[in-house]
Structures are given as C-alpha cells and as structure tokens.
Amino acid sequence: MKKPQNVNDWETTEEWEYIWVSQRRYETMYNEAVDCANNKDVNGFIEKMSFLADIKKPDEENLYAIPQDPKHEIIAQAQMQLANFFLFGAKQTDNGSVIKAKKDLKKAVRYMKLSAKNGNASAQQNLATMYEECVTPAGEKLPDIKQDYKEALYFYRLAAEQGLEIAKKDGVNLYKKMKGMR
C-alpha cells in the first residue's frame, strides 16, 4: 500500500481509520475520564476508564464494528490507572484533590496484568514486585498472585528493556537472591 503524502491522503486509506480515528477516540475517552476525576465524579471516572481499559478486538465478521486495538498504549495507561486506583482506593487528580473508592484487589491485579501485558513499563515493574512479594504496598495479601520469581524476573526484564532503572536494579537483586537460595 502506498504511504500517504499528506493529511487528505490519509482520509482515503484504510489505515487512517485504524490509526488516527482510534487514537483520537481513545484520547477523548481518556480525557473524559480524567475530567470526571478532576470533578470528583468517582463513578464517572471508573465507568469511562473501565470502558476504555476493557476494549476488546471486534469480531472479524462484524463489518460494522468500530476498529479497536486492545493493545494500544492509551488503553494500557487506562488499565494502569484503574489498577492503581483499585489497589490504593484513591487517586490524586490533576488539580490536587483526591477521589476515593473502595479498594478492590481482584480488579487491581486484573488491570495490572492487562496493562503489563500491553506493554506499560510501570505496570510491568509493579506486577514483577507483586509476583516477588505477593503483597500490596500496604502489606495486604494479593488475590490471584502466587509467589513466582521466574515470572517476576520476566516482568522486571520487560520493564528494564523499556529503560526503567528501578526494574533493572530490582531484577538484579532478585536474581542474586535466587542464586543464594540454591
């Protein structure tokens, strides 16, 4: 397929819909969720961010389905936002206020896993720590997580490959710890 030379050419290509329209739609949805948080609308924040974070690839046979990319970076960011929100039960908004909700560790783990698998380096670092320690930062036992040092090293490595220095350090420390256990 010929690469478009200007913006008007993009509109005539199939890729235009998949790249530009999806990107703009995801950014709009993400910004709407952030606006809800800034306006202390907890339910709106959760609803809009969850809608974005739970996007699935449409059925190939549905010709009318809107193109969606469940591995898009904005979706991974939304998954990370929700994971942290449910992990801590609170989120600081852009204007400095705090919105709160009940902690939900099952949802936190679910969204952290999705975000990590979709390439979010911070989620990969956090998930690695979860597999290494099996507790939240507050010391609560994590559901659906069993201690697995190999899985922890895998996610530390993914985060480190994206340049996250703490992941490099934590991965090396875990590796040394594992060698000392033999």
With H, G, I as helix, E, B as strand and everything else as coil, classify residue 100: strand
Q: pLDDT tens across 92-137, in order? A: 998 899 999 999 999 999 999 999 999 999 999 999 999 999 999 8
The predicted pLDDT at position 1 comes to: 45
Tokens at 79, concatenated: 């998954």
For 135, phi and psi rounded to 5 degrees? Answer: -140, 160
What is the mean pLDDT of the segment spanning 159-179?
94
Nearest partner of 70 among 34, 118, 123, 25, judged by Cα: 118
- What are the residues whose beta carbons fall under 8 Å from the beta carbon of 31, sequence distance 6 or more? none
- Round the average pLDDT of the chain to a whole number and report it: 87
